[in-house]
């Protein structure tokens, strides 16, 4: 066994997966053999979920049944909504509120019984549908309650994307908003063994249940180096706008002051994130539709400077920030929306883990003191 230290497990192969493939040098992302470009522009989020969980894209009848089953699971038990209300009144951080509510969902899941087999695939697919369907309800309810509004009940006749926007704003979105948001969900659905996915797999490897694994993943996603990055990007763009400075001038000053420019660099991609390419188009389209492209233009100016002067390319967070902002989505629920999408990938990876499970148990190199003499407490 090699004793070479790999901080952060960088470059270490720990599993085989048939879910997603990333080529960091070419800027490619593939879900089960389908390019992200094809899926984002041609498939709905529901289709991508079916693909990730079942291995193939659904037929029209399979999709109708799958989407209908999931839509029927959108409502959340009153006791869980009561917890969400309490968390909103306590001004809890959005991701912490979501983490707590998702954990509580297990108490009301008919397949999450004490004697249930955690690896039962049929039961886990049913639980996965419920978790994926209810997460948007939790996020929308928390957002409205903390803003002093009552939750909007979910509708079964809307798509996954449209239903969330309806629950969030109380109004049915137009076709453009629905399409853009659905595309964003597709782009974030899976991304290899990222930190939150690996966290879910570690939890599942102990034969903990699906709700425990997803709760672990949500906690991991909440960190600013992972899911919180898109919120950091938008807060940066707002700061640039408020300063009145040219974006490039602002960035130069920030770098001189030792600050990090959010939304650039990636542990996997050495070129522009393919998801960022698609979201940049959406950011531009939304700006043009609203008659104000300043956020897009600001982002492009910063991207060009960072590429030419620092050799850094934007990641998915850089353009998802302005895309969500122009849809009227509050900045501090960007990461919960990330969780709403990535839950599909988390579930798919947990299913893979259960299918060929081995407890994940890495080693650490001990660098502490050795051969110390023990001194009884009355002599210390």
Q: What are the residue numbers of the active site?
A: 266, 317
Contact 227, 196 (CB under 8 A): yes
Give the C-alpha separation, 233 to 245, whole Å: 17
CA 173/CA 165 separation, integer angstroms: 6
Q: Is 352 exposed, middle or buried (0-12, 13-18, 19+ CB in 10 A)?
A: middle
Give the Cα separation of 277 and 304 in Å (integer).
13
In angstroms, the Cα distances linking 73 to 143, 337, 357 are 20, 18, 29
Task: Please check whether residue 296 is in contact with residue 287, taking contact to mean a CB–CB distance below 8 angstroms.
Answer: yes
């Amino acid at each position: 066994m090699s004793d070479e230290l790999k901080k952060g497990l960088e470059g270490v192969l720990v599993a085989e997966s048939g879910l997603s493939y990333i080529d960091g040098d070419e800027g490619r992302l593939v879900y089960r053999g389908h390019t992200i470009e094809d899926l984002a522009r041609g498939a709905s989020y529901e289709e991508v979920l079916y693909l990730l969980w079942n291995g193939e894209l659904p037929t029209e009848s399979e999709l109708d049944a799958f989407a209908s089953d999931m839509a029927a699971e959108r409502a959340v038990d009153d006791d869980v909504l009561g917890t969400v209300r309490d968390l909103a009144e306590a001004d809890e951080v959005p991701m912490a509120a979501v983490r707590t509510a998702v954990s509580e969902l297990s108490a009301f899941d008919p397949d999450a019984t004490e004697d249930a087999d955690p690896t039962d695939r049929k039961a886990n697919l049913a639980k996965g549908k419920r978790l994926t369907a209810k997460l948007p309800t939790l996020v929308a309810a928390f957002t409205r309650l903390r803003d002093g509004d009552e939750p909007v009940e979910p509708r079964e006749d809307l798509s996954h994307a449209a239903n969330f926007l309806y629950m969030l704003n109380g109004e049915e979105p137009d076709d453009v908003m629905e399409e853009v948001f659905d595309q964003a969900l597709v782009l974030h659905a899976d991304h290899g063994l990222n930190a939150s996915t690996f966290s879910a797999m570690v939890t599942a490897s102990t034969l903990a249940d699906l709700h425990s694994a997803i709760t672990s993943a949500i906690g991991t996603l909440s960190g600013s180096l992972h899911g919180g990055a898109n919120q950091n990007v938008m807060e940066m763009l707002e700061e640039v706008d408020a300063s009145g400075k040219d974006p490039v001038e602002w960035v130069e000053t920030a770098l001189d002051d030792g600050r990090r420019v959010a939304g650039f660099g990636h542990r996997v991609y050495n070129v522009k994130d393919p998801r960022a390419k698609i979201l940049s188009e959406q950011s531009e389209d939304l700006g043009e539709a609203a008659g104000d492209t300043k956020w897009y233009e600001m982002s492009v100016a910063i991207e060009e400077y960072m590429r030419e002067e620092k050799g850094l390319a934007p990641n998915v967070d850089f353009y998802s920030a302005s895309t969500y902002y122009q849809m009227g989505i509050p900045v501090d629920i960007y990461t919960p929306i990330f969780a709403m999408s990535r839950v599909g990938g988390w579930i798919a990876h947990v299913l893979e883990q259960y299918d060929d499970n081995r407890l994940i148990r890495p080693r650490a190199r001990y660098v502490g003191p050795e051969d110390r003499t023990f001194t009884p407490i009355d002599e210390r």
